[in-house]
Amino acid sequence: MSSIRVGAATDVGQVRDLNEDSYSAGEQLAVVADGIGGHAAGEVASAMAVETIAEHFGRHPNAAGLLRAVERANQSVAEAAAVQADRQGMGTTVVALGVTSGRRDELTLALVSVGDSRAYRFANDELVQLTEDHTVAAERQRRGEITAEQAATDRQRHVLTRALGIPQVLEVDQWRITMGPGERLLLCSDGLCNEVSDQEIAGVLRSTDDPQLAATTLAELARGHGGRDNITVLVVDPATDARLADQGTVTRVHQPRQVAPEAVRTAPLRGSRQRIVTPRVVAFLLAIAVVLLTGWMVLRWYATSTYYLKSNGAELVIYQGHPSGFLWFEPTQRAKTGIKVNQLLPTTQRRVQRPVVEPTLDAAWAYAVNQHNAWKVQQRAYAGLERVAP
């Protein structure tokens, strides 16, 4: 029977909170998708892509069906991103391997790729990368603008030029693959190949026959090496009863046009630091500014919400603010009452040596005027007493 045996492992890694990779591993289909986009949108995009591809390829299990499945997935992700604000800009890479041969035929597979998730072939004790990374750095390297060494450290080595769900013309790389005895295929997200060297990957594939154990071992290696991104690994072997070619072949079906690399989105970064000013970042900064401004206004309101009266030595003065200040808000002089301190009753004179707090400016004025009037009443009473005195 023409089928595959897939060992699968996925791990969130050691740095990220969410695993935005998704995969499908069956007897007829193996898919890895690495989602991009914040607030779990990447997780949604990759899961949606894998689900759509599995569903469509299940009904059309041939090379054209796999290509169409990827196109459908692209459409689904783009539509979902368009209708929900928090999913705008979400996308996903995809690398998928589908069995396209009939039950009695030699095992033949179709491979498709968009993005920087990879497919490798392990044959004749040698690991060869089949897919090309659709990143700005890799595209520039292919165009001869930079060397492999420069591409390996280029700031844009994780910036994707193609992804599912991003509104642009979808271009899918395609291959036709047959497998010979002892040959294996490997699909992975960049969380594996960024952490584990080709030599180490080859070492595990050479020494571990069981595809499940090989996949688990590779994911653990990537995690052990830092696990700075989500890790997904599928090790694909022919089923034990599959008919195989004497020697496997890989044929590129579709040669993509060479276009100037243009970033579609910033993929998850590893190592490099880039400043990304997105509408979401701007909105976040604006929200912070509003919170800070509101906080400042509340503090200022509290600091200036009371008034107090105090003698300045000669005159009664109204101040605004807390007598001893509040945080960095110092009290300010609000009004001179024109009332001399010696025009107040002796008890009031003593009281206004220290602040007399009132809740409003009107209340402060009322206190000053009332105390002054009390003094005037007393003065008139004294004058009356002097008149009636013999």
Contacts to Mg ion by CB under 5 A:
34, 189-191, 229, 268
Shortest CB 218 distance to Mg ion, Å? 15
Residue 115 or 321 having the CB closest to Mg ion: 115
Residue 191 or 331 having the CB closest to Mg ion: 191
Shortest CB 133 distance to Mg ion, Å? 11
Sign of the torsion formed by the C-alpha atoms of 189, 195, 197 and 200: negative
72-100: burial string, b at 16+ Cβ within 10 Å, e else: bbbebbbebbeeeeebebbbbbbbbbbbb
Shortest CB 36 distance to Mg ion, Å? 8
Shortest CB 173 distance to Mg ion, Å? 18
Sign of the torsion formed by the C-alpha atoms of 364, 365, 368 and 373: negative
Residue 35 or 331 having the CB closest to Mg ion: 35
Contact of 125 with 205, CB cutoff 8 Å? no
337-354: burial string, b at 16+ Cβ within 10 Å, e else: bebeeebbeeebbebbee
Residue 67 or 137 having the CB closest to Mg ion: 137
Q: How far is the CA of 231 from the CAs of 11, 117, 247, in angstroms? A: 5, 10, 31
Q: Tokens representing 197?
A: 């060297």
Q: Residues 288, 166, 136, CA angle at the centre, nearest 5°?
A: 90
Shortest CB 119 distance to Mg ion, Å? 15
Contact of 3 with 98, CB cutoff 8 Å? no
Shortest CB 102 distance to Mg ion, Å? 35
Residue 34 or 173 having the CB closest to Mg ion: 34
Shortest CB 190 distance to Mg ion, Å? 4
Residue 52 or 93 having the CB closest to Mg ion: 93
Residue 113 or 189 having the CB closest to Mg ion: 189
Alpha helix (H) residue ranges in 106-236: 136-142, 148-153, 190-193, 198-207, 211-224
Q: How far apart are CA 323 and CA 314, in angstroms?
A: 19
- Given the DSSP bridges, would you call strands 159-160 and 315-320 parallel, antiparallel or unpaired? unpaired
Residue 3 or 189 having the CB closest to Mg ion: 189
Residue 21 or 358 having the CB closest to Mg ion: 21
User: Could you tell me the end-to-end alpha-carbon distance of the chain, in angstroms, rounded to an integer?
Assistant: 137
Angle between helices 198-207 and 211-224 (to 10 degrees): 150
Shortest CB 270 distance to Mg ion, Å? 8
**SS3 state at 242:** coil
Shortest CB 280 distance to Mg ion, Å? 20
Shortest CB 34 distance to Mg ion, Å? 4
Q: How far apart are CA 130 and CA 119, in angstroms?
A: 6
Sign of the torsion formed by the C-alpha atoms of 245, 249, 255 and 261: positive
Residue 4 or 137 having the CB closest to Mg ion: 137
* Residues, the chain: 390
